[in-house]
A and B are shown apart, each in its own frame.
Chain A
């Protein structure tokens, strides 16, 4: 198992290295490498997800990084859930990118860095302890900068620097938090139920603050979300999809790991700190939703939506409830394909019609029918309309909140969904408006029809996933099955 995980991490990294060699000189080779690498990774992750949680997680220690802290891997349900999400979205984003970058000079570079980021995110997913997680996390945070500034425009650089200005202090905080945990808890190996076996030291509060803030930056936790709305429009569309779909989620994932498997739900309950996290997340849900309303740039609007949606995850997790956590994890995975797909659509509009703004989308549906249908499906999924995938997580989170009598979080959840409907409605209304409204738009850039086939495939894939994971959530076992199992383990209700 753990060897399989090592392979899943190694394949994209090897692909990235190969890219520097043959991929650099030939586009064909580069495309072949990236397609094979992502496909193999996805296959490996599928295998891992199918078997995760069946047996106690087997560990694999690679090297002693800072003795006695090793780099070690472990496959559990939560890690497999996240890894599969990363790998599947990676495949779709690669298909999209193959078209998007068709005339790009830095074709190989994009794919190399993306593969690198994928490998590192999988390392985060399969990390058996916090130091391993940090290695993957810090390195991919830095590598992501290269993709954010891929277009090399002043706007892209401004967004990239802003990103660094957020990320670097965050990583400093994370390191402080980690060292505090090592010193005061004695162990940073992830264990369901936490590692703290004595009274809570006062430093645990400091560590909690450092780690929540540190990971919160990447997780777009209010008020640390400032880089998100700038980075998304600046990045190439396929990378925006990855950024919103899984990179932000990596922050949430890491935070959940630390909270549930180092502090442990019992200690967190005793410390009484989680309501603070819930409050910040809840404010983010509402505020970002409201800000999305006034945003005309489609990618920016979607970025605000990401902040709002990822707020749900931390809000639900802050309740320390098994079902809420299961819903949060399922939402984490489902959101990746929904939001990734929406960014694919935004990219398709830019690619085929040169349209960036919501106000310019008028009547595009009649020229780009497939894209419009996908956009509609995904929007409905994001709002949480059954039987699409967005509904599943929200239903579980909402149900848990109602059962706990947590009415304030529940109303935040509902209000957030209402806001999602409000900020996505104008997009749908514009795109399906009658064609004659469209006279003002200049002639389309590339024929104006639906984008080339590969890009359509990425679009259709994301729509298909969000349909499948909604309709057949229980049948497929992913993401819901894994999420339920992971939540049960994390909150201590079940043995791994």
Chain B
């Protein structure tokens, strides 16, 4: 392990977004200025986060203490491979998400508020990623909840407020559980640090350990949408599309699974976890969620709701990967953070583009949409095939390592779960692709006056380009394991840290 360096960049990354948010709130009255502020902050943060990649790959760890809350309890940032991976994913995705949001929200109410909170969310996400201890993690985790709430209810109206209330109740209860668990950990271990591989090794109070595990897993499990803690997620679909993208791909649910990773890898540590044997139950729950959410997804008629259920299923891939406690599974879980994020954000962007261009939101209205919006549907197709697990796309990589990880853990049965899940994914994505590409557009026979290109023309390139970039990334993640700047290497480094394996020669 490399030396720990004092470095301001972790805090800078955080501040850039926060400052961006503040400036948008204060002076972002004009659309053009607002756009520049939002995109500028995104790009700047992207650069800062990526600039830490070479160092971290070489084994460097960057740390910075913000301030001490109480003696021994500090808000402290620390950049290790796992945290940087999460930060990279979210800060990379934030750029296309912001550009897309600028186009999508054009002409709507409350844009200043929207973009301000949008930027704050990503700032807090970076805080979560770079948190050195549970307390810091918890603080940013709660801030994230608070910052997303105005976005969820952005559209106004009864449904939005109801969804927002449910979101708050679920996530704040989760937060309360985490807080309780954290207090117990502090009491027993005397530290909340996440820099090692386990702080509870010396404790042999089985009941207390189980309590900590249940509290922390249930707490983070709310945002990770493990069944039965999932129901806020489909409800939150009333939010505008960029917010859904934020919830599903960039920040919120990812914060949940990332928290779980920290609990299992850094609070307990894989070795200790394996001895305790709690993770097996988590794996069962995840396996159940993978299948059950997919079965429910089969019966959805609204495209966005289908995407929500698919997210629940996909997140549990990561949860399952965490619970298996083997190197290949861990690798699968970490890279699925990115794989799921890029594929799912592609789908949300596509759903939003379809809605913007044609006003269609139901799956059975999508007949022939591929002919109207070829680029949009091509991207959607790439993402869909990735979820099914077609080789050369991102999803296949996850499936491969997760299957291998299940075998390593001696639970080969999960391979069957994955296979079934792949088939279920085919059963709900392929009908959409069939409608889009193979069915004649509805209403063409009835009203011949609609030009087939009317839809594409209405789409701003600011929506189309982010969509295409994300779809390209799904492909890149599927084939580019060796590319030097790809997160894959970073994920491998993270796995080595988690398992205490020797690194490759730098």
Contacts and interface: CB of A to CB of B under 8 A. Distances in A.
A210 to B, nearest CB: 10
A142 B396 CA distance: 15
A175 interface: yes
Interface string A178-190: 0110110000000
A157 interface: yes
Contacts of A131: 391
Which residue, of A66, A164, A176, A180, has the highest number of chain B Cβ atoms within 10 A?
Answer: A66
A63 B426 contact: no
B481 interface: yes
A139 interface: yes
B401 interface: yes
B400 A179 contact: yes
Nearest to A70: B482
B407 A183 contact: yes
Contacts of B399: 175
Contacts of B416: 176
B404 A63 contact: no
A182 B400 CA distance: 10
Interface string B398-419: 0111011001100010011001
B479 A65 contact: yes
A169 B396 CA distance: 15
A169 B426 CA distance: 10
Contacts of A138: 390-391
A180 B414 CA distance: 12
B379 to A, nearest CB: 16
Nearest to B426: A168
Contacts of B481: 63-67
B430 A175 contact: no
Nearest to B398: A66
Interface in B375-434: 385, 389-392, 396-397, 399-401, 403-404, 407-408, 412, 415-416, 419-420, 422-423, 426, 430
B278 interface: no
B400 A66 contact: yes
Contacts of B407: 179-180, 183
Contacts of B479: 63, 65
Q: Main SS of the interface on chain B?
A: helix
A63 B423 contact: no
A179 B482 contact: no
A179 to B, nearest CB: 4
Which residue, of B400, B412, B423, has the highest number of chain A Cβ atoms within 10 A?
Answer: B400
Contacts of B488: 67
Given A139-B391, A176-B419, A183-B404, A66 B438 contact: no
B400 A139 contact: no
A283 interface: no
A200 interface: no
B389 A152 contact: no
B423 A172 contact: yes
A175 B404 contact: no
A168 B423 contact: yes
B403 A157 contact: no
Contact of B438 (A65, A152, A180, A183): A152
A53 to B, nearest CB: 29
Interface in A379-421: none
A149 B407 CA distance: 38
Nearest to A149: B438
Given A149-B438, A175-B389, A183-B407, A63 B482 contact: yes
Contacts of B430: 164
A134 interface: yes
A290 B400 CA distance: 42
A66 B408 contact: no
A493 B270 CA distance: 49
Contact of A172 (B385, B408, B412, B419): B419
Nearest to A135: B391
A65 B391 CA distance: 9
A180 B412 CA distance: 9
Given A66-B397, A168-B423, A183-B404, A176 B390 contact: no
B506 to A, nearest CB: 17
Contacts of B408: 183
A176 B438 contact: no
Nearest to B437: A146
Interface string B433-453: 000001000000000000000
Which residue, of B423, B426, B492, has the highest number of chain A Cβ atoms within 10 A?
Answer: B426
Which residue, of B391, B415, B426, has the highest number of chain A Cβ atoms within 10 A?
Answer: B391
B368 to A, nearest CB: 12
A277 B400 CA distance: 27
Nearest to B478: A65
Nearest to B416: A176
A293 interface: no
A172 B391 contact: no
Contacts of B391: 65, 131, 134-135, 138-139
Contacts of A368: none
Interface in A109-136: 131, 134-135
A173 interface: yes
A168 B419 CA distance: 10
B419 A173 contact: yes
Nearest to A137: B391
A176 B403 CA distance: 8
A299 B416 CA distance: 37
Interface string B475-499: 0000111100000100010000000
Contacts of B422: 168, 172, 175
A66 B399 CA distance: 10
B423 A175 contact: no
B390 A139 contact: yes
A157 B434 CA distance: 10
Nearest to B482: A64
Interface in A142-163: 142, 149, 152, 157
B417 to A, nearest CB: 11
Contacts of A149: 438
B403 A179 contact: yes
A131 B391 CA distance: 9
Contacts of A169: 423
Nearest to B400: A66
Contacts of B403: 175-176, 179
Contacts of B415: 176, 179
A138 B422 CA distance: 13
A142 B401 CA distance: 23
A157 B439 CA distance: 10
A152 B437 CA distance: 11
Contacts of B392: 65, 135, 139
A179 B426 contact: no
A164 B431 CA distance: 11
Contacts of A180: 407, 412
A439 B492 CA distance: 75
A149 B439 CA distance: 11
B482 A67 contact: yes
Nearest to B440: A152
A136 to B, nearest CB: 9
Contacts of A183: 404, 407-408
Nearest to A167: B426
Interface of B: 385, 389-392, 396-397, 399-401, 403-404, 407-408, 412, 415-416, 419-420, 422-423, 426, 430, 438, 479-482, 488, 492
Interface of A: 63-67, 131, 134-135, 138-139, 142, 149, 152, 157, 164, 168-169, 172-173, 175-176, 179-180, 182-183, 203
Given A135-B391, A175-B400, A203-B412, 10 more contacts: A66-B401, A67-B482, A139-B392, A142-B385, A157-B438, A172-B422, A176-B416, A179-B415, A182-B404, A183-B408
16 contacts: A67-B481, A135-B392, A138-B390, A138-B391, A139-B391, A168-B422, A172-B420, A172-B423, A173-B419, A175-B399, A175-B403, A175-B422, A176-B403, A183-B404, A183-B408, A203-B412
* A-B pairs with lowest CB-CB distance, top 3: A172-B419, A179-B403, A135-B391
